[in-house]
């Protein structure tokens, strides 16, 4: 039997060298390790950017006794520096239909340097052009599963306790792939351990979910993200606080944001609200087309985050008139004017409408349609009215786009 770390007698803190927040889930995994009752399959669920991949990598390292993301207090049984160089930890990402081995390797190398790196092909189509707006559909095809994943799952551990198969965003498995994977999950080899992640568990086969130990990760608080940005990314306190408040709970993507760029974008967002209120169709379409054409998903999500925070500032100031509670304090005069003009605005409903846009962007719905429809809905809510087109009849927006 291969040697393993005796976690029951080890004073350690799972993921203490890199993981951000999620103390409840960290304690959960720590108890699993201390009990020495390792299941053959785990499923990390939760919204994007909160650390599901980072947790998976740290868990795989801990199972195989690697001192890297977790400080093992001198009790490591592996001489490998991280999961990346360990022969028994295999990491798979959903990939586009045409992708080179070098492209995939480059992304895994980035992940080895930082477990919170954005390496998803859909969210980050290219590593060389950060402003690329063309999204690449990434998924687990049946050929990818048969040629790469399945063979790795039947390898015997070389030097570790378990052969660990990490698959991120498993909700992107095609139907044939999901059925083939389910069969393997039902009849796993003796020393294999699957660690899966998903943003959308509802998209998975219930039979896959039922065979996994589910660990739910929650959206990170602004305080957790602020501390992560300061301690891990070297940001100053003021920049970290601002970015944390417009992060939408997504730490991984927030690290790509630049405070100066976001504040410059904020002027466009303020004008967007004005155009929506004034039914300025030409400027609404010009703005939404610009966001659609110039920004990738990261940038479009940033627009949503800044828009949500600006509306929250209006809500806070309207209720308290306390400038110290406003994130966009340098825009206080603009916020005051909005409060005066939008005395009947249904701000809670406006925030709900803005938040509903994030999953649509992640699902690759065209941004120009999302932002145009949002403007139409905000226009009514700013006046205190229900949107003219109810949520259960969203298709009625479409004639406006084909005229």
Q: Which has more pLDDT, 217 or 323?
A: 217
Residue 179 within a domain: yes
pLDDT of residue 403: 40
Does the pTM surpass 0.85? The reply is: no
- Structure tokens given for 298: 């990261």
Shared domain for 135 and 252, answered yes or no, is no
* Domain's final residue, options 152, 187, 216: 216
- Mean residue pLDDT of the chain comes to 89
Q: What is the mean pLDDT of residues 43-61?
A: 96
Q: Which domain holds residue 129?
A: 7-216
pLDDT in tens, 201-229: 999 999 999 999 999 999 899 999 999 99
Q: What is the mean pLDDT of residues 279-287?
A: 93
The answer, yes or no, to whether residue 349 has pLDDT greater than 60, is yes
pLDDT class of 379 with cuts at 50, 70, 90: very high
pLDDT of residue 284: 94
pLDDT in tens, 249-277: 899 989 888 888 888 888 999 999 999 99
Shared domain for 315 and 236, answered yes or no, is no
pLDDT of residue 133: 47
pLDDT of residue 99: 84
pLDDT of residue 402: 42
Task: Give the domain CATH number at 209.
Answer: 3.40.50.300
Residue 123 within a domain: yes
pLDDT of residue 392: 67
Q: What is the mean pLDDT of residues 178-203?
A: 93
Shared domain for 287 and 312, answered yes or no, is yes
pLDDT class of 134 with cuts at 50, 70, 90: low
Percent of the chain with pLDDT strictly greater than 90: 63
Q: How many domains does the chain have?
A: 3
pLDDT of residue 257: 85
Shared domain for 241 and 263, answered yes or no, is no
Shared domain for 245 and 381, answered yes or no, is no
CA distance 126 to 132: 7
CA distance 331 to 403: 37
The answer, yes or no, to whether residue 22 has pLDDT greater than 60, is yes
pLDDT of residue 330: 79
Shared domain for 320 and 386, answered yes or no, is yes
Shared domain for 242 and 203, answered yes or no, is no
Shared domain for 211 and 228, answered yes or no, is no
Shared domain for 201 and 240, answered yes or no, is no
pLDDT class of 162 with cuts at 50, 70, 90: very high
Q: Which has more pLDDT, 30 or 364?
A: 30
The answer, yes or no, to whether residue 290 has pLDDT greater than 70, is yes
pLDDT of residue 323: 82
The answer, yes or no, to whether residue 112 has pLDDT greater than 80, is yes
Which range (1-10, 27-36, 53-62, 176-185) has the least confidence?
Answer: 1-10
What would the 3-class secondary structure string for the chain be? CCCCCCHHHCCCCCCCCCCCCCHHHHHHHHHHHHHCCCCCEEEEECCCCCCHHHHHHHHHHHHCCCCCCCCCCCCCCCCCCCHHHCCCEEEECCECCCCCHHHHHHHHHHHHHCCCCCCCCCCCCCCCCCCCCCCCCCEECHHHHHHHHHHHHCCCCCCCCCEEEEECCHHHECHHHHHHHHHHHHCCCCCEEEEEEECCHHHCCHHHHHCCEEEECCCCCHHHHHHHHHHCCCCCHHHHHHHHHCCCCCHHHHCCCCHHHHHHHHHHHHHHHHHHHCCCHHHHHHHHHHHHHHCCHHHHHHHHHHHHHHHHHHHHHHHHCCHHHCCCHHHHHHHHHHHHHCCCCCHHHHHHHHHCHHHHHHCCCCHHHHHHHHHHHHHHHHCCCCCCCCHHHHHHHCHHHHC
- Structure tokens given for 99: 């992708």
Residue 1 within a domain: no
Shared domain for 173 and 276, answered yes or no, is no
Q: How far is CA 181 from CA 41, 93, 203, 208, in A?
A: 12, 15, 15, 8
Residue 2 within a domain: no
Shared domain for 15 and 99, answered yes or no, is yes
The answer, yes or no, to whether residue 288 has pLDDT greater than 90, is yes
Of 92-96, 184-188, 189-193, 393-397, highest mean pLDDT? 92-96
Q: What is the mean pLDDT of residues 137-159?
A: 93
Q: Which has more pLDDT, 118 or 44?
A: 44
The answer, yes or no, to whether residue 324 has pLDDT greater than 90, is no
The answer, yes or no, to whether residue 395 has pLDDT greater than 80, is no
Is residue 111 exposed (0-12), middle (13-18) or buried (19+ Cβ within 10 Å)? buried
pLDDT of residue 274: 93
Q: What is the mean pLDDT of residues 283-288?
A: 94
Residue 115 within a domain: yes
Shared domain for 283 and 202, answered yes or no, is no
């Amino acid at each position: 039997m291969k040697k393993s770390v005796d976690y029951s007698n080890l004073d350690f803190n799972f993921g203490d060298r890199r993981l951000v927040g999620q103390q409840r889930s960290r304690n959960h995994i720590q108890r699993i390790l201390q009990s020495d009752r390792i299941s053959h399959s785990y499923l990390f669920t939760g919204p994007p950017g909160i650390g599901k991949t980072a947790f998976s990598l740290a868990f795989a390292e801990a199972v195989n006794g690697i001192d890297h993301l977790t400080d093992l207090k001198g009790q490591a049984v592996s001489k490998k520096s991280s999961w990346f160089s360990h022969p028994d930890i295999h990491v798979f990402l959903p990939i586009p239909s045409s992708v080179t081995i070098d492209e995939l390797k480059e992304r895994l190398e980035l992940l080895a340097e930082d477990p919170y790196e954005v390496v998803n092909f859909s969210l980050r189509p290219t590593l060389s052009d950060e402003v690329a707006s063309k999204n690449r559909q990434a998924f687990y095809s049946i050929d990818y599963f048969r040629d790469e994943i399945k063979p790795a799952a039947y390898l015997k551990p070389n030097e570790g306790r378990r052969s660990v198969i990490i698959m991120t965003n498993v909700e992107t498995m095609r139907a044939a792939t999901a059925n083939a994977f389910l069969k393997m999950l039902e009849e796993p080899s003796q020393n294999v351990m699957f660690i899966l992640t998903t943003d959308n568990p509802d998209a998975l086969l219930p039979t896959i979910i039922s065979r996994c130990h589910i660990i739910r990760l929650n959206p990170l608080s602004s305080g957790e993200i602020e501390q992560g940005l300061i301690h891990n990314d070297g940001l100053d306190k003021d920049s970290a606080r601002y970015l944390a408040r417009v992060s939408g709970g997504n730490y991984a993507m927030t690290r790509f944001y630049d405070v100066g760029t976001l504040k410059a974008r904020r002027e466009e967002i303020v004008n967007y609200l004005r155009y929506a209120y004034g039914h300025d169709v030409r400027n609404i379409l010009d703005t939404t087309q610009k966001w659609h054409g110039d920004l990738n998903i990261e940038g479009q999500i940033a627009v949503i985050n800044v828009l949500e925070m600006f509306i929250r500032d209006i809500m806070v100031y309207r209720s308290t008139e306390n400038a110290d509670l406003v994130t966009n304090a340098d825009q206080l005069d603009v916020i005051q004017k909005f409060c005066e003009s939008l005395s009947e605005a249904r701000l809670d409903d406006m925030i709900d409408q803005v938040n509903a846009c994030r999953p649509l962007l992640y699902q690759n719905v065209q941004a120009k349609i999302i932002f145009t429809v949002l403007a139409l809905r905000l226009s009514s809510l700013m006046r205190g009215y229900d949107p003219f087109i109810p949520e259960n009849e969203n298709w009625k927006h479409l004639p406006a786009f084909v005229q």
